[in-house]
């Protein structure tokens, strides 16, 4: 192992008999059951274990203490070991079972058992990382964590109404229905539209109260005892990425006064090294556990007990990198292997005859659509090196959020040479939104048949700026063509976007759009597609969609009528 990683008692746990008053064992393949039982144990100051397989149910038995009361929280749908209580009882253990129904039902059932709890935190079960992030603060504030989405919110709201919560925190991304139903309880809200920034916000609430010097570092993709019980050990949870860490996370660790980080698991070593080097903290790695043997003074090391959580997988693949001598551009082609839009920020280090001569890349995060193959171009003049050996260090951080690129694609490739001219010329002529089909329509004018991809940058939706893009590249003919972008917009959203920054990338090759045009376009709104093609639709829509111009138009019509009446009266007098 590299020298910068230290292994101490905190990093290698020696598993012996349990000494706490009671032990909760989760027997379920449903992560919501496992998490709910862990929070139940933490709030009762019980110890906790969870099964991860049928075999594990037998491996666990020699480690249990027959003098200790055991509570098995068992799924009635997906238990690993059916009737585990009977198995333990036959071996002489003092054991009871709590049967749970799984998901939100099981979560609410366990919440009902905690009669004295008056504080609650609500997260969406779609995002397991939200549940991980709030665990330390849940322990500190004696709060139970509830799962709520649009399907379960009625039951959750009914439970809260009966419990009359003292404090309610809504954390992370939640359905609109959840906010609407729970607004009656005047909740506190943490939602920055970014899981790393939400995590920093909840970690800071913990830090202000406890002033910890040590934090657990993880990525929120699995449950492990120290992660969920970190609040008890005076450690907030701070998220790092799989292979990259956002700069603002490192700045927070550095500025908040943390001196030690406990990294859970070997998989996050690159991120752990990055935090250690840039934030200047000590790093301990918890990668295994030692299991005591009765007839041996040694404790063989085994893997940690972890329970995986649902996650959004991202997978970005390298396709090609070429230098176009005709345009003096590097053309990087990448493929998004997942049905999830992904942000990325390429950086290309150009190496000539073994020496780095220049680095080029994107100044801001780019977007690649769901399952899309897309080219990115960078201006650089390599004319005098075309006969030399050129390699390129490719470094592409990527992630689900524009400012949270937690993964990274890294490789070194030889540079291929091509010479392709592109005679396409394109302009943006109009931008419309059609309510009936919930589409933006970007009208472009092209000098010939070309390929194009349209996007809207910093579109305001629900008071947040987002970038939306076509799901792929389209072929357009010479003359006028329409490019459509699907996006739900209500009347408030439309009013917030009188003008929209619109970009069209285009070119003669489908995989590499080497040209682009960008304009801030006035947005015209139509109810249906028929209105767009109706005579005078362009003028009327532009006028009538503006609330201010309607009374002005009526006033002008009234003045025109008065003028006509005045002229008629004048003719009669003559």
pLDDT tens by residue, the chain, 574 residues: 444 444 333 333 333 333 446 999 999 999 999 999 999 999 999 999 999 999 999 999 998 999 899 999 999 889 999 989 999 999 999 999 999 988 889 999 999 999 999 999 999 998 899 999 999 999 999 999 999 999 999 999 999 999 999 999 999 989 889 999 999 999 999 998 889 999 999 999 999 999 999 999 999 999 998 888 887 778 999 999 888 899 999 999 999 999 999 998 788 888 999 999 999 999 999 876 555 445 554 445 566 788 998 877 789 999 999 999 999 999 999 999 988 889 999 999 999 999 999 999 999 888 888 888 889 999 999 999 999 999 999 999 999 888 888 889 999 999 999 999 999 999 999 999 999 999 999 999 999 999 999 999 999 998 888 888 888 899 999 999 999 999 999 999 999 999 999 999 999 998 888 899 999 999 999 999 888 765 444 444 444 444 445 566 677 787 777 777 767 666 555 5
Let me know whether 149 and 275 are in one domain.
yes
In a domain, 382, yes or no: yes
CATH at residue 521? 2.60.40
Let me know whether 241 and 271 are in one domain.
yes
Cβ(160)–Cβ(168) below 8 Å: yes
Cβ(13)–Cβ(49) below 8 Å: no
Cβ(73)–Cβ(26) below 8 Å: yes
Cβ(102)–Cβ(78) below 8 Å: yes
> SS3 for 460-473, per residue?
EECCEEEEEECCCC
In whole angstroms, what separates CA 210 from the centre of its chain? 28
Let me know whether 458 and 480 are in one domain.
yes
In a domain, 478, yes or no: yes
Let me know whether 456 and 334 are in one domain.
no
Let me know whether 377 and 479 are in one domain.
no
Beta carbons within 8 Å of 130's beta carbon, 6+ residues apart: 123, 124, 171, 172, 173, 195, 198, 220
CA gap 569, 496 in Å, rounded: 47
- The two tokens of residue 350 are 């150009």
In a domain, 101, yes or no: yes
CATH at residue 383? 2.60.40.10
- Domain with 503, as residue range(s), is 426-529
Proportion of the chain in helix, strand, coil states, percent, rounded to 5:
30, 35, 35
In a domain, 5, yes or no: no
Q: How many other C-beta atoms can be found within 10 angstroms of the C-beta atom of residue 91?
A: 11
In a domain, 6, yes or no: no
Let me know whether 497 and 542 are in one domain.
no
Cβ(526)–Cβ(537) below 8 Å: yes
Among the candidates 529, 546, 566, a domain finishes at 529
- The two tokens of residue 94 are 């003092």
In a domain, 7, yes or no: no
H-helix segments, 343-402: none
Domains identified in the chain, total number? 4
Let me know whether 124 and 232 are in one domain.
yes
CA gap 155, 177 in Å, rounded: 12
Let me know whether 24 and 131 are in one domain.
yes
Nearest to 438 by CA among 497, 484, 496, 500: 484
Let me know whether 431 and 407 are in one domain.
no
Let me know whether 223 and 303 are in one domain.
yes
Tell me the whole-structure pTM to 2 decimals.
0.71
Segment (H or E) for 504: strand 499-507
Q: Work out the angle at residue 152's Cα, subtended by the Cα atoms of residues 146 and 154, and round it to the nearest 5 degrees.
A: 100
Among the candidates 259, 282, 308, a domain finishes at 308
Let me know whether 379 and 498 are in one domain.
no
In a domain, 388, yes or no: yes
Among the candidates 418, 451, 467, a domain finishes at 418
CA gap 377, 421 in Å, rounded: 14
In a domain, 2, yes or no: no
Let me know whether 303 and 447 are in one domain.
no
């Amino acid at each position: 192992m590299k020298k910068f990683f230290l292994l101490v008692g905190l990093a290698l746990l020696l598993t012996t008999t349990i000494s706490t008053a009671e032990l909760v064992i989760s027997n379920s393949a449903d992560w919501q059951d496992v998490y709910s039982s862990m929070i139940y144990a933490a709030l009762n100051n019980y110890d906790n274990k969870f099964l991860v397989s049928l075999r594990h149910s037998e491996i666990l038995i020699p480690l249990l203490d027959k003098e200790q009361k055991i509570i098995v929280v068992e799924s009635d749908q997906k238990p690993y070991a059916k009737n585990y209580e009977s198995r333990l009882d036959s071996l002489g253990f003092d054991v009871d079972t709590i049967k749970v129904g799984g998901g939100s039902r099981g979560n609410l059932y366990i919440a009902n058992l905690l009669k004295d709890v008056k504080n609650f935190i609500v997260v969406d079960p779609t995002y397991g990382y939200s549940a991980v992030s709030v665990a330390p603060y849940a322990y500190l504030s004696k709060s139970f964590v509830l799962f709520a989405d649009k399907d379960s919110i009625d039951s959750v709201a009914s439970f809260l109404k009966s419990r009359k919560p003292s404090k309610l925190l809504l954390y992370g991304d939640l359905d609109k229905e959840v906010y609407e139903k729970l607004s009656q309880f005047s909740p506190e809200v943490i939602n920055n539209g970014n899981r790393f920034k939400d995590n920093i916000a909840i970690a800071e609430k913990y830090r202000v109260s406890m002033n910890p010097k040590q934090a657990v570092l993880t990525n929120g993709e699995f449950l492990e005892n120290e992660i969920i019980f970190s609040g008890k050990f005076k450690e907030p949870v701070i998220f790092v990425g799989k292979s990259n860490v956002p700069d603002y996370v490192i700045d927070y660790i550095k500025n908040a006064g943390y001196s030690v980080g406990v990294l859970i698991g070997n998989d996050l070593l690159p991120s752990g090294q990055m935090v250690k080097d840039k934030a200047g903290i000590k790093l301990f790695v918890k990668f295994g556990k030692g299991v005591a043997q009765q007839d041996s003074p040694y404790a063989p090391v085994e893997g940690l007990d972890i329970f995986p959580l649902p996650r959004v997988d991202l997978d970005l693949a390298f396709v090609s990198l070429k230098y176009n001598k005709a345009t003096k551009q590097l053309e990087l082609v990448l493929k998004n292997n997942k049905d999830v839009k992904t942000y990325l920020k390429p950086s290309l280090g150009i190496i000539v005859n073994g020496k780095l001569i220049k680095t080029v890349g994107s100044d801001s995060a780019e977007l690649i659509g769901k399952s899309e193959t897309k080219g990115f171009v960078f201006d650089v003049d390599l004319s005098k090196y075309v006969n030399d050996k050129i390699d390129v260090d490719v470094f592409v951080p990527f992630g689900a959020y524009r400012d949270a690129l937690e993964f990274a694609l890294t490789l070194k490739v030889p540079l291929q040479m091509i010479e392709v001219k592109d005679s396409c010329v394109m302009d943006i002529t109009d931008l419309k939104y059609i309510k009936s089909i919930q589409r933006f329509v970007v009208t472009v004018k092209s000098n010939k048949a070309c390929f194009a991809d349209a996007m809207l940058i910093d579109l305001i939706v629900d008071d947040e700026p987002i970038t939306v893009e076509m799901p792929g590249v389209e072929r357009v003919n010479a003359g006028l063509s329409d490019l459509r972008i699907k996006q739900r917009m209500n009347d408030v959203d439309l009013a917030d976007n009188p003008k929209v920054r619109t970009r069209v990338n285009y070119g003669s090759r489908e995989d590499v759009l080497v040209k682009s045009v960008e304009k801030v376009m006035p947005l015209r709104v139509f109810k249906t597609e028929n209105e767009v093609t109706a005579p005078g639709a362009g003028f009327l829509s532009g006028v009538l969609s503006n609330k201010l111009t309607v009374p002005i138009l009526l006033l002008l019509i009234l003045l025109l009528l008065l003028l006509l009446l005045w002229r008629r009266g004048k003719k009669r007098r003559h």
